[in-house]
Structure 1
Amino acid sequence: MDTSSDQYDSPWKDAIERYFPEFMSFYFPDAYHEIDWSKEHIFLDQELRAVVQDADLGKRFVDRLVRVSLLSGDASWIYIHVEVQGTKQAEFAERMVVYNYRLFDRYKRPVASLAVRVDELRQWKPTSYGHSY
């Protein structure tokens, strides 16, 4: 087990869980305004682990899965997958797509995948993932 990454991960995990509304307001204000904060939001770490445990897509720093209710009531509730990425990684965009699909496939609920980059590489800007033939 890599304790150095645990020391880095734990503060992020704790902060996201303890201050989730504030976290969303600061990093994702548009999404924040779509969430019904009068209803409970639920962290689903076990469910996330079950979906990503066999993915061999590189080191991730922090992943959180949260069930939230929407103000619109369209889907009544959705999952928000939050990832904090601390290093440049070629597989990053692919991993986000894979996790999004696996969560949707397993739970049949909409999934919003959100990423916070905390690296210092201004030139690295993963924006999409796809295939072309």
Structure 2
Amino acid sequence: MQLKRAESVLVVIRDERKQVLIMQRDDDANFWQSVTGTIEVGEIPLNAAYRELAEETGIAMPKSTHPILDCRLMNQYKIRPIWLYRYPPGTEFNNEYVFCVKVPAGLPIVLTEHTDFNWTSKQEAIQRVWSKTNRDAIAQFVPD
């Protein structure tokens, strides 16, 4: 297994009806989240956001018509102990760059790394997602 870099993206997805997409991780049924993923070597965070959005949901929107917004926020959080083996020895914290995107309602979702998904209200998404940084991003960047 190749070790992960401690830099990732978080992409909050909402549709035209102000519904937020959340997905259930396949390795933890209680862990719901927005799109997340490691930034690859040589990749800029915005390109990682587009790549992860397409990989995890099947949503590949043209940048010209559906741009992903850089929220200009970088979170640093302590990596869950059960995931530390995925990172180089001594790594404790991850830097997470936050993005959001508005997509048309009714887009088909193709899951590759999750077992389920839901389009929910902003408040329900805040209640259901596992991580504090994900809750905060939804609260801050999804309009009421």
Q: TM-score, normalised by structure 1?
A: 0.36
Higher helix share: 1
Q: TM-score, normalised by structure 2?
A: 0.34
